[in-house]
Amino acid sequence: METAITEMFGIEHPIIQGGMHYVGFAEMAAAVSNAGGLGTITGLTLKTPEALANEIARCKDMTDKPFAVNVTFLPTVNAPDYPALIKVIIDGGVTVVETAGRNPSQVMPYLKDAGIKVIHKCTSVRHALKAQEIGCDAVSVDGFECGGHPGEDDVPNMILLPRAADELDIPFVASGGQADGRSLVASLAMGADGINLGTRFLATQEAPVHQKVKDAIVAASELDTRLVMRPLRNTERVLTNAAVERVLETERVKGADLQFEDIIDEVAGVYPRVMQEGEMDAGAWSCGMVAGLINDIPTCQDLVDRIMNEAEQIIHDRLVGISRGATT
């Protein structure tokens, strides 16, 4: 299947593994890239430029296919050493960078001069248009269903994707609610050129996380996510657990007086304990509503092959049959 995204990134299938904290290590990225998609190393998880350089080198030892590095620009006083991270990415020969968070305009000249393609994560059409304006090559349009931070507009992909298609001149991929061939075909029908999967790739054999995390996703339904930090306008969709319910109760009790410090123990610094140690109630961790569509833990290769085979079957059997007036 050829789309503007497969052509732009030099990949076989229009499937991207998005950046995920304490998940996007070399093992994960290489497995997705070897399966024909675009794997992604999560830059800030590595903490230092030296560690990121080592992870890029490790990934190159595991795959000769293109892979991306995610760089999230955080609104923080103690900002990461972004110039050093970008230099490591350029020196490492990475061909695609996924940016997220704040506007990446300050690093765009360096990435573009190096010939690196940039795809920026956006939760609204207005943000996608800004990304297009500053020179991003593509955008990942994240609907309200997505795990992590869905923005504050609460627009689901059935509306957001067609709106993006109406407004954008650059290619985009659909993120949020993506799990299978149905997701891919629906996203293509609404104007996207591919799909970005987070939670679905988290529940794969190669995902370098504790088995309890994968089992929790398989056991969850579409009703088992919660939205935390809404009063702080930093909304995050997470899988419910004891810590998440404590956060929601604190938010309810504090009301307009809520401060980040009131919930910091449950929402900051918990990923190593959850993802690596399997402490499932340690705190809030991102998970999409798509958990309701995840029922197994395949290899990345099996997952990608299944998505593509199902998509081809839907297109050629069901949709072509309908267009010809046949019953299915």
Q: Which helix (H) or strand (E) holds 55?
A: helix 49-62
Residue 307 located in a structural domain: no
pLDDT at 271: 96
Q: What is the pLDDT of residues 57-110, one digit of tens each?
A: 999 999 999 999 999 998 776 789 999 999 999 999 999 999 999 999 999 999
pLDDT at 75: 75
Residue 252 located in a structural domain: no
Identify which of 241, 235, 177 has the alpha carbon closest to the alpha carbon of residue 212: 241
CB contact set of 255 (below 8 Å; sequence gap of 6+): 231
pLDDT at 328: 46
pLDDT at 306: 98
Beta carbons of 6 and 13 less than 8 angstroms apart: yes
Residue 128 located in a structural domain: yes
β-pair type (15-17, 195-197): parallel
pLDDT < 50 stretches in the chain: 328
The whole-angstrom distance between residue 147's C-alpha and the CA centroid of its chain comes to 8
User: Could you tell me the two tokens for 142?
Assistant: 């994240």
Residue 24 located in a structural domain: yes
Residue 86 located in a structural domain: yes
Query: Range of 177's domain?
Result: 4-207
pLDDT at 321: 85
Residue 300 located in a structural domain: no
Residue 308 located in a structural domain: no
CATH number at residue 54: 3.20.20.70
Residue 328 located in a structural domain: no
pLDDT at 326: 58
What's the number of domains the chain is made of?
A: 1
